[in-house]
Structure 1
């Protein structure tokens, strides 16, 4: 037995040794395989690393190769790496920058020989891209029927995209109107209109002190200028129009002016602000056309910058408007830098549209485009205006669209731009421009009073007269808007 047991243990030990030997071989094989994979990964990683370069280094290489200057904020390029950097270079600098920067969501607008990098800016294209888009749009129609078909399709899409189809029901409240102020040749009343339950838009109504018959009406949405509708240019504009015989209404942008009693300033740069401003504009037209002594068949609109965006937006949406004067805003490559101008994707309607096409939707009614040489309207005489003339030509009304280009001026609604607008409105709304001219025939605005900001308030110096049902906060307003525009 002892011998047997010894033999058994010997055999058992051999089996165990064979098992251990087999396991060692398998482990070694696995280790070799893993080492090979690791070596391959390291090699691949090394290859990848050799094709990667910091963005800042790449930009320096581009500057040296193409003899250009690239400006940027350090925070924009910090930590950014370009993979396969050298493979992205092309003989053309713009194609090279596009290959390198587009995947990083960085755009590169150019001025002269200088490129300025910025975070991807969806509404700001290159001039070349804007022109190509406008050329494409122009190819979609060649006569009145084809243009009208597209026009009404775009309008329906715009209203739907803005959430205004169907239009929300109007509140039953009467407008809130402050005491009348007598000026030299005109009067002013401050007005608040409830456009949705608890949502108020405030403005000032300028009327001629004396009116022969019914007065034409001009709505003047203000732009993104300092002080909004309290701005001296905005006040002079409305006062002078009133002295010429028009009712003129200047009103706050959403979350500007007295609207900030209900909302934060940051709420202006939210997409829904675009819908609210369009709704406010349409409600203001309703209010003005209901005024005693208003001529509903002579309605004009004018605004600059963001007010220019409102001008061609409302002109495209509402056939009641008869004369349109967008100022320093019309561009084929800039759609508006605030979400209140381009946050709702109306420009994606019908396969894509742009602001010149929205302006063209006003054809064949009188339209004056005022442009300047120091902002995105610099190319209007060569690009946007000929396009408008082409569309107006379908109707045989090419003389109804005009352009005043002030090549040496910048982005404002200054006196020279107002003079052009006054003459155009006088011509097409039958206003008395002589009432505001001096002995030499020059426009004289000295009798157009610029009031202190508080004088234009509806709800008091500290908002103490804000109605009790007023909405407070964007979220509450969004809920009210959704409820009001829900299809029943």
Structure 2
């Protein structure tokens, strides 16, 4: 018995010694390479996880197999969350590995947040208090309170090009010393009295504002009797004469794009033919996020049409949409609440069935109608949902915009419809990209004071807001 007891004591001491040693060694963390853990997940749950070698290189998972649960979704979340990673489910049994997307939430989580925000107000007065709290914070969050001084330079405008029922001229506006935002201004060929204007911020699509659908949209608006101005994202399009493409993915892009929109609005409102009571804005994708933000911040905008962008579960997938902490304002907000700040001005939300706007009709629209109802106008906010379509600004989306502009800005729909009453875009000319440049084919007309590079921009911006 004594010998047995001795063996038990010695055995326990050896086990304890080993355990102590393991606490000083990474082995005690049950550490495994991420690649091996993903392979085990694939094997155990009979699924496929798609990834690149760069995504998993030098990535390790502590307590790897302790994180496994009976279902694959919970297991993936437990494994990837500490690494700031996640997966998107592409179809049944197939997942794609991604970096953690702070801007993309589960639909139910976004809707729960919207439900919570709804408890903060119960009538027009309490909503106006909330709106008054958020609005100045949006400027502060983007370092635009106060706004930087406006350069005294005049816009650079190219000669007009005469089209069928409209004209086009390219324009560059200096928004900070040496920093230009470029665009194209479309006007009716014949202008009588005051006419509306529609800002058309670009989205994250190839060919920027030179795209056929962007040119057609602006030309149609002009042929109906309004002005339309399309303009570049920061470090996008002609802005690449001053910056690198990767500069677009910096937080300051958010601020610069907002400032660009404000300065473009200043310009079009200075034109003698502009009807200040009929100023609208409509962009798609990232341009839709810009549309919502501008309509929330600037009371001069009287109509807004965000296209394939608005959702309570999506905050914008680019730093130019959420790089500055606008969504942390007033204890936290989201794009749907920001869109509600446009009330009671007419607003059309265009959504589809193949991106994050898929759930807009079921939850986000009732919220917007509730806010618009405080002003007695729930029908002033509308939704065109296209369940079989995807993420673009195609013909159906453009038709929805045209209808809304005709309805609210009293434009001449007959001028752009054929004998059967259908919209006819065939008279809109799609120009070559080079025809839409302000600074020449190779940037040879870029002003001598133009900023060159992001580092210089940071210095200029800092100097501008410190005055």
Q: Tell me the residue number matched to 1:5.
A: none
Q: Tell me the residue number matched to 1:135.
A: 115
- Could you tell me how far 1:149 is from its partner in structure 2? 1.4
The secondary structure found in structure 2 opposite 1:75 is helix
Q: Tell me the residue number matched to 1:436.
A: 416
Q: Tell me the residue number matched to 1:237.
A: 217
Q: Is 1:375 the counterpart of 2:375 in the alignment? A: no
Q: How does 1:76-475 map to 2 (within 5 A)?
A: 76-113=55-92, 114-475=94-455
Q: Tell me the residue number matched to 1:59.
A: 38
- Could you tell me how far 1:50 is from its partner in structure 2? 7.9
Superposition RMSD in Å: 2.1
**Are residues 132 and 63 of structure 1, via their aligned partners in 2, closer, same or farther at CA, if it must alter by over 3 Å?**
farther
The secondary structure found in structure 2 opposite 1:300 is strand
- Could you tell me how far 1:116 is from its partner in structure 2? 2.2
**Separation (CA, whole Å) in 1 of partners of 2:375 and 2:70:** 46
Deviations 1:44-95 (A, max 9, x none): 4689448344434433444455554433334333443333334323445433
Verify the 8 A CA contact 1:109 1:126 in the aligned structure 2. no
**Separation (CA, whole Å) in 1 of partners of 2:332 and 2:249:** 22
The secondary structure found in structure 2 opposite 1:379 is helix
With structure 1 as the length reference, what TM-score do the two structures score?
0.88
| Paired positions, count | 453
**Separation (CA, whole Å) in 2 of partners of 1:119 and 1:443:** 43
- Could you tell me how far 1:463 is from its partner in structure 2? 1.3
**Separation (CA, whole Å) in 1 of partners of 2:463 and 2:399:** 44
Verify the 8 A CA contact 2:29 2:62 in the aligned structure 1. no
**Separation (CA, whole Å) in 2 of partners of 1:465 and 1:458:** 8
Structure 2: runs of 5 or more not aligned: 1-13
The secondary structure found in structure 1 opposite 2:356 is coil
**Separation (CA, whole Å) in 2 of partners of 1:453 and 1:97:** 45
With structure 2 as the length reference, what TM-score do the two structures score?
0.92
Deviations 1:104-151 (A, max 9, x none): 111123344333221112212222222222222222222112221111
**Separation (CA, whole Å) in 2 of partners of 1:468 and 1:53:** 56
- Could you tell me how far 1:400 is from its partner in structure 2? 0.4
- Could you tell me how far 1:268 is from its partner in structure 2? 1.0
Verify the 8 A CA contact 1:137 1:353 in the aligned structure 2. yes
- Name whichever of 40-49 and 446-455 sits farther off: 40-49
Structure 1: runs of 5 or more not aligned: 1-34
**Are residues 483 and 88 of structure 1, via their aligned partners in 2, closer, same or farther at CA, if it must alter by over 3 Å?**
same
**Separation (CA, whole Å) in 1 of partners of 2:16 and 2:149:** 69
- Name whichever of 90-99 and 461-470 sits farther off: 90-99
**Separation (CA, whole Å) in 2 of partners of 1:159 and 1:193:** 21
**Are residues 299 and 258 of structure 1, via their aligned partners in 2, closer, same or farther at CA, if it must alter by over 3 Å?**
same
**Separation (CA, whole Å) in 1 of partners of 2:148 and 2:32:** 55
Deviations 1:261-283 (A, max 9, x none): 11111111111011000000000
